[in-house]
Structures are given as C-alpha cells and as structure tokens.
Structure 1
C-alpha cells in the first residue's frame, strides 16, 4: 500500500510509528529487520516509548535500549526520531489526554463567542 501511494506522489515520504515495548520488540535484531522493510521507501520512523497504564503487563523500554535501537536504525540510513509521549509525567496513556488539551481551532472560538453572546442577550433580556 505504501509503495502504491508513493508511485502517485513521487516526492512524498511515509512516516511510520513504532511503539517500543520492553523485551518484546526493542531487540536490535528487530531493528535490523525493520530497516530492511523501510530502506526501500522514502520514509521516516518515529520511535515511541510505551507509556504504561494501570492494568497493563507491558513496560517501557529502558532509555539505553531506546537509544541503541534508534542508533542501530540510523546507522543503516533510515531517519529515526524518538518521540516523547505527552502525559508521560502523569501516567496518561495514548488517548488519555483528550479532555485535557485545549481546542484552539477557529470553530471552537466561534462556538465560545456565540455562547458568550447568548449569555449577554439573556442577561439583557432579564434586566
């Protein structure tokens, strides 16, 4: 699918997300296998340390393992960045910040402006 996409957009890159799980998929042999897949495509790899949450048996890879995984991939010519998950400091797993991030879109601002106008109209009518 990625190769088909790139045929229609020759200057495009594909970004892949790879969540690192301690002892499961952070082995350097897996990094080598990943490079074999990605090397054929103009791509970038985002390495995401797993953000544990209550009730999971998975753990985040250790920092040295994350760095070694990244370095192994980059040494073979694939761009790899380590993403720090938002919410790591408050034990928020993926999707747990949804209600905590302010919506700064134009639509949200317009909605809030309408609400404020409605409240003003209600107050003026009551007076």
Structure 2
C-alpha cells in the first residue's frame, strides 16, 4: 500500500484537527459550565409571607406615590401604570368597593394625564390625599 505525499498530509491534517477539536471541547467545557446553585438559603414558609389587605396595599401605594422620590417622570408614570393595573383587577370586600372605585378612577385620571403630557395633578392629588385620610 503506497501513500503519496498529498494523501498522507491530508490524513495528518484530519488527525490534528480531530485532536485539537477534542482538546478544545474539554478546555472550553470548564468555562461554560452552569454555576452550581448553593441552596443554603433559609426557606420561606408560606405562613411567613404576609399578604397585604386592600387597605394596607392602598396605603402602601399612597405612601410610595407621595413620599418616594422618583428619579424621572417616566419612572413615576410606570409606577402609576403598574399600580392602576394591579388595583383594577384586585378583588375587594363589599365594604371597600366604593373606596376601590374612587381610587382606581383617580389613578386612571392620573394615568391619562401622563399619556397626554399634562402634569397638573392638583385635583387628583387632593382626591388621593382625602382617600388617604379615610384609611
């Protein structure tokens, strides 16, 4: 069996390529491994999670809305949008239906004013402050 130079060179190139590919695979495998998740955190028991009542959640919203300094108007608009969605679909007891409706309607007015770039919320703020006093 006689090999010419070109076929011998081709076989050597294929063997070197396979060896390099295998070596590269094992080398790079160590860099891309999933990090081990250390699960030594304290588990949260369901009974430890405190669900806010509607009144507590409304008060939380009002505190954040009036007292937390937002860096930009866009941030505050996102907060209002998110809270409007949350309160709109929130189930409440019969005694809180009127309060919820007034709160959601006021947040909706603020949301609509943000959308048309009308940043005069004096009336809406007065309503929200009155609602906060009711809590």
Flag the structure with higher strand content: 1
Instruction: State whether TM-score is above 0.5.
Output: no
Bucket of the pairwise TM-score, normalised by the shorter protein: under 0.3
**TM-score w.r.t. length of structure 1:** 0.26
Q: Relative contact order (C-alpha < 8 Å, sep 6+): which is higher?
A: 1
Flag the structure with higher helix content: 2
Q: Which has the larger radius of gyration?
A: 2
